[in-house]
Amino acid sequence: MRLFLQQRSDGRDAPRFVQLMLQPDLLGGWELVRETGQLGGRSTVRREQFLDQASAVAALEHARDQQLKRGFQLTFAQGSDAPRSSNP
């Protein structure tokens, strides 16, 4: 599952982005990967491990909702069970 959120540019700087990816690991757990930065610039990657898919999906949805509150817009969602935006 993959979500890509982007913040509108103010005209001077490149737009900021947040990419959230949820993927199974080799030991039966789940990993939430958060990548943040500016388009065309540097980015930061953080990884968080979860024992089950339900808690990993809950963390992804919480991270998505936090970014939506900060003014980011969901621009891309990939995955058959990708969570939809809770805010219109």
> Quick check: is 85 in a domain?
no
Angle at 65 between CA 64 and CA 69, to 5 degrees: 120
The CATH number that applies at residue 49 is 2.20.140
pLDDT band at 83 (very low <50, low <70, confident <90, very high): low
Q: Residue 74 class from Cβ within 10 Å (0-12 exposed, 13-18 middle, 19+ buried)?
A: buried
Taking the model in full, what pTM does it have?
A: 0.82
31-48, pLDDT tens digit by residue? Answer: 999 999 998 889 999 999
> Quick check: is 88 in a domain?
no
| Residue 29 token pair | 């757990």
Q: In the chain, how many domains are there?
A: 1
> Quick check: is 45 in a domain?
yes
Domain range for residue 9? Answer: 2-78
